[in-house]
A and B are shown apart, each in its own frame.
Chain A
Amino acid sequence: MMLGKVIGEVWATKKHERLSGAKMLLVAGLEQSDGRLLPTGEVVVARDRMGADTGHLVVVTWGSGARKVFGLENDSSILCEAAICRIVDGYTDLEQLFDTQGGV
């Protein structure tokens, strides 16, 4: 899974029919450095049914995990490779956490 920030939305009318019915959001990947979250440069398109909006911190899940956000556990016909599975309220400063535990 990937931590990211929603930076925008994509619209497409010509698309695979199994892709209909959910917003597609642009999510910029983030990594932690010196206690700050900085962009990795990577941008992904994730489907959303959690109601995420531009500016939200979100967690993106991939593959069959993403399809489970969208439907029946065994329905492999859902076309979904990346989905937002949670909207983040807060996060731990990972470096501080690792420092107090003696580093990694």
Chain B
Amino acid sequence: MNQDIYVVIEHVQGKVAEISYTMLAAARELAQGSGGQVVAVLLGQKAQKLAETLAADKVLYVEHPALEEFTPDAYLTVLAGLLGEAQPRVALLGSTTIGSDVAGGLSERMNAPMVSQCQKFQVDGGAIKSVSKICGGKIMAEIDLPETTTLVCMIPGGYAPEDGQGQGASVETPAVPELEGLRVKLTSYIEPEAADVDLEKEPILVAVGRGIQNEDNIELAQELADLLGGVVAGSRPVVDQGWLATSRLVGKSGKSVKAKLYLALGISGAPEHVEGITGSETIIAINSDPSAPIFDVAKYGVNIDLFDLIDPLLEQVKTAKG
């Protein structure tokens, strides 16, 4: 094992995913502790220019037509070879639709332990602790990283992505392994349907979560949104139930919003949702669970049963509007 910190860069449709920069920022902190280098691993086809934005000491760029866009089989094959040979101190992957697809396979193939849901590291010389956020953000788990090569899947929130952006990394092009007989092929991307609203551009959002309880109650949120000149958005459970269109989903698989006012009604604040709202100016959370993680990101919170508050609130908003 060496002391380098490897970061598996994620990109979709020619754009580097923000989590990659977050991981590069984390990698810098780890490398300062371990005394190794930050090495970015970039897989792609005609994607070398993406290397120019990565704050790494070195970029390993693997080019192959089968790597033009992410597929789990091709990435796993390349990364197992590359990381298996390099045996870095730590390899960082996103806790994302890309990283999570391959980390488990890498762990088995490399016989390397893996950590999920890491938000932050605590570095003390060579000793590294991962702080993972689990149980929908309600529990933190500190894990002593084993002293062998370890894979870590990261969630956003612990490091500033800007700190992972930079230039001047040297680029090396390692040999490409055989990529025949791949069992997963990307046939197409389907762009989200043109929606009635673009949540990313809406200044006022009234967002509902599981606490809204049933489809009929969405109307209450809609009424409030109408009065405030905003639109209704939602977290995963509400969209999965079919109570709101997918275009209204905020969070990991949905939109990252930058609202002036984000009113979270009955949203617990799981990390998957929170990563989509932190760009908002004022977050106000209303939730009946005093330990809901949403209160850790909101500016203002109300610990109350939503249905006790909604009627007086609607009344007063109507009065205020005259």
Q: Do A and B bind each other?
A: no
